[in-house]
């Protein structure tokens, strides 16, 4: 471990411009101000330093004091490295503490905290293991959604309405329970927030939106949806059923990503090395989920005897998966903003079609009507969700390749 043998030996500054301990310099910028005269080594050896300041002579000690809480709760050097990186300390900053990178600096901080008794040594955190409770919970939304779709197809009239309402409620509760545990849960366990509201809108649009948009462009709709695929306001149950069934694969792929990223964090020696190793892992996990969703969509379309809207469902699935993956790793703001913008865009497409029926507003709906008549009603959600998913994918490659995104969760108090 680098730096352990030279902790209390002062080091000569690199030159006249090297920063000293004066002037309020923080711990990250502190260097050892004590110097040894090269022309008189014997006198320097006999001379005893008069109580040097701890923060200047031992910058690592000062850094440990500043991040005392992090050192106290850390159960592994990797957790300290992730915490330092989250506070803006980079490999370049670590060189000011006589270390080549953040990982080496974290190893010394962890060793000194354990040696001094500031933090009890414990076993290194292993990669998270799959648990039966969240594994079974992730199967509930797809199972209940399949039962609800079957009930809607087997009933008629008012019974169909009751079956649809009961099925929607059951699936919503099961999805809520599945997202509160396991690899897709929020780390802070807070309330779902506005992201859940807009996610519900996007799924509802996948079920009812295309039929409503087609009917609006044609001058309708003239009646409420009856639950039949060939009605005046048809339902498209295939995307919703495929997405509900994909809740389990999403949880398993997220678990696989977290476990592999923890292993790569242990094997990496600097932040750039870790980011380069995790980036292809993230893209591979994302492609794996889309592949499983494609298979589920094909099976659902064959079972329900409906066309499979691949582009619309895959873009929506990609958007929801990336949003949840970012949220589960503590980056909830960007997914909420992107989901809000996507749902607003879809709602605006419907609104302009109905608004164009007012006198003098006919030109408002020309772009949407052109898209619908040329490529179909599914073009609107495909474009909206596709652009949003691409934006979140770029954001995820920046955020989820940071060591701080994979720090072990703080123990509950």
Of 348, 346, 347, 322, give the one whose Cα is nearest residue 336: 322
- Where residue 203 falls (left for φ over 0; alpha for ψ -120 to 50; beta otherwise) is alpha
Of 30, 36, 28, give the one whose Cα is nearest residue 10: 36
* Residue 181 pLDDT > 60: yes
* Residue 381 pLDDT > 60: yes
Find tokens 């703001």 and name the residue. 333
Task: Let me know: does 208 contact 225? Beta carbons within 8 Å.
Answer: yes
User: How open is the CA angle 35-38-40, to the nearest 5 degrees?
Assistant: 105
Of 71-80, 215-224, 258-267, the one with minimum mean pLDDT is 71-80
Helix, strand counts (H, E) of the chain: 19, 0
Averaged pLDDT, 271-300: 92
- State the CB neighbour count (10 A cutoff) for residue 40: 11
The HSE-up count of residue 39 (CA atoms within 13 Å, CB side) is: 0
Averaged pLDDT, 33-53: 40
Averaged pLDDT, 94-117: 67
pLDDT at 129: 62
Distance CA 261, CA 278 (A): 6
Own/partner contacts of 264-267, CB < 8 Å, gap of 24 or more, are 265/78, 265/81, 265/82, 265/403, 265/406, 266/78, 266/124
Q: Which residues touch 331 (CB under 8 Å, ≥6 apart)?
A: 395, 399, 400, 405
Distance CA 271, CA 259 (A): 18
pLDDT at 14: 41
* Residue 68 pLDDT > 50: yes
pTM equals: 0.72
Phi, psi (degrees; rounded to nearest 5) at 380:
-65, -55
pLDDT band for position 114 (cuts 50, 70, 90): low
Tokens found for residue 206? 């996948």
Task: Let me know: does 213 contact 369? Beta carbons within 8 Å.
Answer: no
Distance CA 333, CA 195 (A): 9
pLDDT band for position 164 (cuts 50, 70, 90): confident
Taking only the tens place, the pLDDT of each residue in 223-265 is 777 666 666 778 889 999 999 999 999 999 999 998 888 888 7
- Where residue 193 falls (left for φ over 0; alpha for ψ -120 to 50; beta otherwise) is left
Of 135-144, 175-184, 322-331, the one with minimum mean pLDDT is 175-184
Averaged pLDDT, 329-335: 90
Residue 209: DSSP 8-state: I
Q: Is 23 exposed, middle or buried (0-12, 13-18, 19+ CB in 10 A)?
A: exposed
The percentage of residues in the chain with a pLDDT greater than 90, rounded to a whole number, is: 33
Of 43-57, 161-175, 194-208, 299-313, the one with minimum mean pLDDT is 43-57
- CA terminus-to-terminus distance, the chain: 32
Distance CA 81, CA 274 (A): 12
Find tokens 């799924």 and name the residue. 203
Averaged pLDDT, 75-95: 71
Average pLDDT over the chain reads 76
Q: Which residues touch 326 (CB under 8 Å, ≥6 apart)?
A: 332, 334, 335, 392, 395, 396, 399, 400
């Amino acid at each position: 471990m680098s730096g352990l043998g030279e902790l209390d030996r002062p080091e000569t500054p690199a030159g006249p411009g090297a920063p000293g301990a004066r002037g309020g310099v923080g711990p990250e910028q502190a260097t050892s101000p004590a110097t040894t005269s090269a022309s008189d080594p014997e006198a320097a050896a006999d001379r005893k330093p008069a109580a040097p300041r701890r923060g200047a002579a031992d910058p690592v000690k000062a850094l440990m004091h500043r991040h005392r809480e992090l050192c106290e709760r850390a159960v592994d050097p990797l957790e300290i490295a992730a915490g330092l990186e989250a506070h803006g300390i980079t490999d370049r900053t670590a060189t000011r503490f006589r270390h080549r990178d953040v990982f080496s600096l974290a190893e010394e901080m962890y060793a000194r905290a354990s040696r001094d008794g500031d933090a009890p040594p414990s076993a290194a955190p292993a990669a998270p293991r799959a648990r039966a409770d969240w594994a079974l919970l992730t199967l509930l939304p797809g199972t209940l959604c399949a039962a609800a779709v079957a009930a809607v197809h087997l009933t008629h009239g008012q019974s169909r309405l009751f079956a649809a309402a009961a099925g929607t409620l059951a699936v919503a509760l099961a999805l809520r329970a599945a997202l509160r545990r396991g690899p897709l849960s929020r780390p802070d366990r807070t309330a779902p927030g506005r992201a859940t509201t807009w996610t519900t809108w996007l799924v509802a649009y996948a079920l009812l939106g295309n039929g409503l948009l087609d009917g609006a462009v044609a001058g309708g709709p003239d009646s409420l949806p009856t639950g039949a695929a060939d009605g005046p306001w048809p339902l498209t149950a295939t995307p919703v059923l495929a997405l509900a069934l994909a809740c389990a694969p999403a949880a398993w792929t997220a678990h696989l990503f977290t476990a592999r990223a923890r292993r790569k964090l242990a094997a990496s020696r600097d932040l750039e090395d870790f980011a380069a190793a995790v980036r292809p892992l993230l893209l591979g996990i994302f492609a794996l989920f889309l592949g499983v969703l494609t298979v589920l969509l094909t099976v659902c379309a064959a079972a329900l005897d409906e066309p499979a809207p691949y582009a619309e469902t895959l873009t929506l699935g990609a958007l929801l998966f990336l949003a949840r993956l970012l949220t589960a790793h503590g980056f909830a703001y960007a997914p909420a903003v992107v989901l809000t913008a996507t749902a607003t865009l879809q709602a605006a497409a419907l609104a302009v079609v109905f608004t164009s029926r007012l006198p003098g507003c006919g030109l408002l709906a020309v772009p949407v009507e052109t898209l619908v008549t040329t490529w179909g009603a599914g073009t609107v959600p495909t474009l909206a969700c596709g652009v949003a998913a691409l934006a979140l994918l770029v954001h995820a490659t920046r955020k989820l390749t940071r060591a701080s995104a994979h720090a072990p969760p703080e123990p509950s108090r």
